[in-house]
Amino acid sequence: MNETKVVTQAMSFQIPVKALLSMLPCFLFLCVNGFMLSALLKKPVLLESSRYVLFGHLLFIDSLQLLFAMLLYIFAITMVRVISYVCILLTLLAAIFVKMSPINLAVMSLERYVAICFPLRHADITTTKTTGIAVTVMWTLASIDSFILLFLFVSLENTGFTVPVSCKTNSIFRLQIYSTLNLAFTIINFVFVSLIIIYTYIAVLITVKSASSNVSSARKAHKTVLLHLFQLCLCLISILFNMINTDDLWIIYPALAVHIQYALFLGLIIFPKCLSPLLYGLRDQTLRHVFKYYFTFGFKTTVRPVTMT
């Protein structure tokens, strides 16, 4: 009994410390994403390129995912009880953002594929209108399973929407059909996205080897698509968090559950979401100079003229 009390007191002391330490990297990289988005918005010529519009959309989605992941994590470790419909809204939106990132990467790979394999048609295909349509399709595809889950929840559950609950996915969507449906959509999503990125990678690689002109641009596009493949792997790592972080973890290892959940959150959620846009943004020559300018408040560097590639 005394041992249980000591463990409980230790956990009550560690929870706010761990919550604070997990929030710090989130806020840091939210600031980084904010600087990059600000750099894009202050350069109208960049917004005319579908490449940078899609990258800005990726930054926006990853920032929202960081915010919602941090909020849900704090709810989970502090065991705060939230009204059911608020928790449902938060979890479904978080699920949309998780699925949106890989779809966005697939569209970015297709844009680079068109730019290298069909350079003469690139300007006609990747217009502002088609980019807007692509973004709309991305949101639609990422939202399908969340709307289905919401419909099933309203149809199958008898609990009220104003009942306070512990805001965790397993606490809200308890029926097996929910986890089965979510797993099916997740697998379909990643298989579909993986096929697109692998196909564009191979096509661009073939073009790079056979290109007799503009070789540097082709090789750069090849490395970009390869980076998208790496980013997809990071997104896949994020999905593992929900598979490992189950209620069984708290039943089997109650004393270690908080520590394990903290390590999983930082390693599988925060790290991939922070590394992915940072690698892509700082690798791009135009964004790198603009980013340095705004990050140092214009004191240490100047922005070079924007060159569209």
**DSSP class per residue in 219-273:** HHHHHHHHHHHHHHHHHHHHHHHHHHS-HHHHHH-TTTHHHHHHHHIIIIIIHHH
For residue 300, tell me if it sits in a domain: no
C-alpha–C-alpha distance, residues 206 and 299, integer Å = 43
C-alpha–C-alpha distance, residues 193 and 164, integer Å = 37
Query: Residue 191 maps to which CATH number?
Result: 1.20.1070.10
Number of domains comprising the chain = 1
The pLDDT tens digits of the residues spanning 118-131 come to: 888 888 888 889 99
For residue 302, tell me if it sits in a domain: no
- Dig out the tokens for 198 from the structure: 């692998």
For residue 25, tell me if it sits in a domain: yes
- Dig out the tokens for 203 from the structure: 């096509």
Q: What pLDDT was estimated at residue 252?
A: 58
For residue 207, tell me if it sits in a domain: yes
For residue 303, tell me if it sits in a domain: no
Q: Which segments within the chain are labelled E, that is strand? A: 81-83, 164-166
**234 backbone φψ class: left, alpha, beta (φ>0; ψ -120 to 50):** alpha
For residue 288, tell me if it sits in a domain: yes
- Dig out the tokens for 125 from the structure: 């295909």
For residue 94, tell me if it sits in a domain: yes
C-alpha–C-alpha distance, residues 17 and 23, integer Å = 10
Domain span at 33 = 2-295
Under-70 pLDDT residues of the chain:
1-19, 22, 158-164, 211-222, 228, 237-261, 275-282, 290-309
Q: What pLDDT was estimated at residue 134?
A: 93
For residue 109, tell me if it sits in a domain: yes
